[in-house]
Amino acid sequence: METVNVRINITTPTGRRLLREIEKHPKTAIVEYPLTESKSGQKTYTIDESYEECCKILSDHYKVDVRKL
């Protein structure tokens, strides 16, 4: 697979339009968003990790497994 790295200025209308067009083709193009300086070095969570943590918090609060509801 051949790849190309592209930097798009998404602060402009044209840049946002290009990004939206690229995101429409997830099998062909993968968009990676860099972490901001304030987030670098901090623990980040995947969507699955966040979901599991939220389910755990709700289950503990309501004393029932919310995944089975």
| Tally: H helices and E strands in the chain | 2, 0
pLDDT at 40: 67
- φ/ψ region of 63 (left if φ > 0, alpha if ψ in -120 to 50, else beta) reads left
Regarding whether 41 and 27 lie in a shared domain, the answer is: no
Q: Are residues 54 and 28 in the same domain?
A: no
| More confident site: 5 or 38 | 5
**Which residue segment(s) compose the domain that 4 sits in?**
1-33
Residue 20 and residue 47 in one domain: no
Whether the Cβ atoms of residue 18 and residue 9 lie closer than 8 Å to each other: no
Burial of 19 (0-12, 13-18, 19+ CB in 10 A): middle
pLDDT digits (tens, 9 = 90+) for 30-52: 888 877 777 667 788 889 999 99
Domain count, the chain: 2
Q: Residues 4, 28: one domain?
A: yes
